[in-house]
Structure 1
């Protein structure tokens, strides 16, 4: 058994291995499967936006195999009230997140790490504090709301600024809502997920296995209940 002082390193290694596995499974999805999943996730998020009618929300531009599709910002903007704002993240050199308003697909530019960012004025890191709905990327989320990102810590910092009244939601592929994930003290939980098959789901604040949710093993694989 590892010494207590080694537990943090064990968690980091487990996170790394889990990321590798999840990314491999995302890359294995066919273009048709990705497109179908994107359509269903978009429909659920549009329904959520129309129900909540936020005056300010945040999202991001999915890249590669991320669920939601590259046109997600445009789809979400079309569902917002006319006077509402949609903010997208701008990655800072220190890996924290600034924010800028989304004004259309022609106002996006390629940035580091394969992401696309808006070209408008930067609104500051604190702009997220005014958001009522925050759409967050992740590779997986567990039943306590703990999310596994790509390891840069950008969204953990941003989520620390999100007010408790805001709804934080992660689009996922099927099988990426899991029983438990390795976590560190700086990890920030989210309140809900959207998956292609099960739609919108709010998360419990405690342990337990829900119907249709697969537990996550230490190797980063899911197994049937």
Structure 2
């Protein structure tokens, strides 16, 4: 696996994370509610039985409202569990009461682990990111966890990064191990990207 910490990626990531930190709380809360609505309205999500998602942390676009809504809509929701080697295992989300604090300030489900391959069973895979370009190249936090997870997702599965509006269409430096996504969801809507190849 190549390094995800090239100087070009680090510079773009640092700039975008600084912008996120400066975003007012009220704006972040509005974005969270809008993101819930646009993701739930996507045809791929409306038709999904299983959705792989994640619990947002810090100044990431908030997923709490979205996770609650997916559960209320009867979706099976898988959440990641960070493994010591940086890979992702998965467990079924049953509600906020069953989330536990894990390494790096993450919240993870306490239920049985389903294995890293479980992400391949999802009809929709929602992933975090810091930016995405017009071709679906996603910039993450630099650990490579989601590039590994996305490599297990069958071609054609709806993969979507959740972002703020100004993080869409950013020039993202690419590397051979980077995995593209098919779409980006922002508070303004869901944007279909290139083929995600």
Give the TM-score, by structure 1 length.
0.81
Q: Does the CA-based 8 Å contact 1:99-1:127 persist in structure 2?
A: yes
User: Pairwise mapping of residues 159-198 of structure 1 onto structure 2 (< 5 A)?
Assistant: 159-197=150-188
Give SS of 1:17's match. Answer: helix
Give aligned pairs, total.
194
Whole-Å separation in 2 of the counterparts to 1:179 and 1:62? 21
Shift of 1:51: 5.5
Q: Does the CA-based 8 Å contact 2:36-2:65 persist in structure 1?
A: no
Q: Which residue of 2 aligns with 1:66?
A: 60
Shift of 1:180: 2.4
Measured against aligned partners, the alpha-carbon deviations of 1:44-100 in whole angstroms (never above 9, x if no partner) come to 111126853212110001111111343432222223xx3x41100000000000000
Q: Which residue of 2 aligns with 1:200?
A: 190
User: Pairwise mapping of residues 124-163 of structure 1 onto structure 2 (< 5 A)?
Assistant: 124-163=115-154
Aligned: 1:52 with 2:46: yes
User: Pairwise mapping of residues 81-160 of structure 1 onto structure 2 (< 5 A)?
Assistant: 82=74, 84-160=75-151
Pick from 10, 16, 37 the counterpart of residue 16 of structure 1: 10
Whole-Å separation in 1 of the counterparts to 2:71 and 2:37? 13
Whole-Å separation in 2 of the counterparts to 1:49 and 1:78? 17
Whole-Å separation in 2 of the counterparts to 1:162 and 1:24? 31
Which consecutive residues of structure 1, in runs of 5 or more, have no partner in the other structure? Answer: 1-7, 207-225
Aligned: 1:78 with 2:68: no
Give SS of 1:40's match. Answer: helix
Q: Does the CA-based 8 Å contact 1:63-1:70 persist in structure 2?
A: no
Shift of 1:141: 0.4
Whole-Å separation in 1 of the counterparts to 2:9 and 2:23? 22
Pick from 7, 20, 23 the counterpart of residue 29 of structure 1: 23
Give SS of 1:135's match. Answer: strand
Give the TM-score, by structure 2 length.
0.92
Whole-Å separation in 1 of the counterparts to 2:118 and 2:131? 26
Measured against aligned partners, the alpha-carbon deviations of 1:3-41 in whole angstroms (never above 9, x if no partner) come to xxxxx99x8101011111111000000010001111111
Larger radius of gyration: 1
Whole-Å separation in 1 of the counterparts to 2:192 and 2:72? 24
Shift of 1:179: 4.5
Q: Does the CA-based 8 Å contact 1:57-1:86 persist in structure 2?
A: yes
